[in-house]
Structure 1
Amino acid sequence: MTHTYNITGMTCSSCQAKVQQLLLQVAGITKVEVDLQKAEASVQMDKHIATGILQNALKDFPKYQLTEKVTARPAVAEFNTEAEKKSWIATYKPVLLIFGYITAVSLLIENLDGAFVLMRWMNNFMAGFFLVFSFFKLLNLKGFAESYSRYDILAKRWNGWGYLYAFAELALGVAFITGFYPLLTNAVTLIIMVISIIGVLQSVLNKRKIKCACLGDVFNLPMSTITIIEDALMIVMSGIMLIKMI
């Protein structure tokens, strides 16, 4: 894959050569072409590398500043074109159906137990949520990690967090359904979802039209308030359960 970045601070051919040399030292980069006139660098890599890692390669020369070039993300442009043709319901149909199924199944479980217990229902709902959402992420783990690194505050700095996050959701789903140390499970859930919602809020408030990675790379869903609701719901439920346990 090849990405283009803006490079400021280059004033001569020596700067051009130095930037090229420094970027080529980053593991995973196979080719670098620096255009002095356009102040750009075209970087070819065999795996996705977070922008922060590339900028860190230039840290010994503070005058060189590397930033992402928006036009280098065709997936975003494709998403915008497709999304404008769909209605809100058609766009978010996958998420709405999934939430509907999880809600229905968790309510059926409560009905079978003979009485509705809020804490137990929330526990089962969260188990279903994390198991289903992690499933879609794991269908294309690499695609999810790349999409997630575009807005999550941790994944931007360390691309490995995108890969780890999918398994963290799976582990949380298993923990909720098996009743594994409820206090610890809910505390970890609260921390992870609070971190996750920060990047979502930043993207939505800044009106960035980017692809949401909540269902991995399977569906072409836009980042919006519904994504905030997903994360906020998990934060509220885990928070309530923690308060009840303490």
Structure 2
Amino acid sequence: MKADSDIHRRQENRGAHWTDYLPLMVIVVLAILAALAKQVDYGEWNGMRWMHDFMGFFLVEFSMFKFFDPVGFADGFQMYDLLAKPFRPYAYVYPFIELGLGLGYLSFWQPQVIYTVTLIVMLWGSLGVLRALMKGLDLNCACMGTVLKVPLSTVALTEDLGMAAMAGAMLIAA
């Protein structure tokens, strides 16, 4: 049985309309607003601190969706993640990694370790997404678990690379 069978080939126009990504946009906007609210608490604008808080809120929010249906998340994640595909236990551990990173950001625990691990996890994840996109696979992004159906697309790749870039910028600035 081919893993990339015709069933998984991209359906015409799937993911072509912005409304396909509305759930993702809502979550990103909520993380942005939560991080902006923290800026009020700090009493001044600090871009690095905002990025730090944004990453914390974003990662905690996204981990939450994976915990609702761990088996369903693992099934979806295994379809494209390069480590989860041959090693299913990684798909079950991944939500805990994401939650741990998010809580690490929010608590400012070992920032350089958190930035480094985020950079590695996000760059590695982007390779699997890129591979699936290059094959033209029609998959749901496992980023929202099985709760919300968002197509795996360049949006997911941009999300992974954007988070890696933010982690890299914070690592350099640290």
- Provide the TM-score with structure 2 as the length reference: 0.92
Does residue 129 of the first structure (1) align with residue 64 of the second (2)?
no
**Structure (1/2) with the larger strand percentage:** 1
Compared CA separation, residues 80 and 226, structure 1 to 2 (3 A): same
- Paired AA for residue 206 in structure 1: K
In percent, how many aligned pairs have the same letter?
32
Equivalence map 1:200-219=2 (5 Å): 200-219=129-148
Residue number among 199, 220, 223 corresponding to 2:152 in the alignment? 223
Q: Which position in structure 1 is the counterpart of 2:168?
A: 239
State whether residues 4 and 137 of structure 2, in contact with CA within 8 Å, keep that contact through their aligned partners in structure 1: no
Unaligned runs of 5+ in 2: none
TM-superposed deviation, 1:149: 0.4
**Greater per-residue helix proportion:** 2
CA RMSD of aligned residues (A): 2.0
Matched positions, count? 174
After superposition, the C-alpha distances for 1:21-76 in whole angstroms (9 at most, x for unaligned) are xxxxxxxxxxxxxxxxxxxxxxxxxxxxxxxxxxxxxxxxxxxxxx53726x6xx5
Q: Does 1:70 align with 2:2?
A: no
Deviations 1:126-148 (A, max 9, x none): 00011000000111011001100
Per the alignment, residue 89 of structure 1 pairs with: 18
Larger radius of gyration: 1
Q: Distance in 1 between matches of 2:164 and 2:146?
A: 24
Amino acid of the structure 1 residue aligned with 2:129: V
Instruction: Show structure 1 runs of 5+ residues with no match.
Output: 6-66
**Are 1:161 and 2:127 matched, yes or no?**
no
TM-score (norm 1): 0.66
Q: Which residue of 2 aligns with 1:116?
A: 45
Question: Which structure carries more relative contact order (alpha carbon 8 Å, separation 6+)?
Answer: 2
Distance, in Å, in 2 between the alignment partners of 1:222 and 1:241 is 29
Deviation at 1:80, TM superposition (A): 4.2
| Distance of 1:195 and 1:185 partners within structure 2 | 15
SS in 2 for 1:222: coil
Secondary structure of the residue aligned to 1:101 is: helix
Deviation string 1:94-136 (CA, Å, 9 cap, x unpaired) is: 0001101111111121133221111111110000011000000
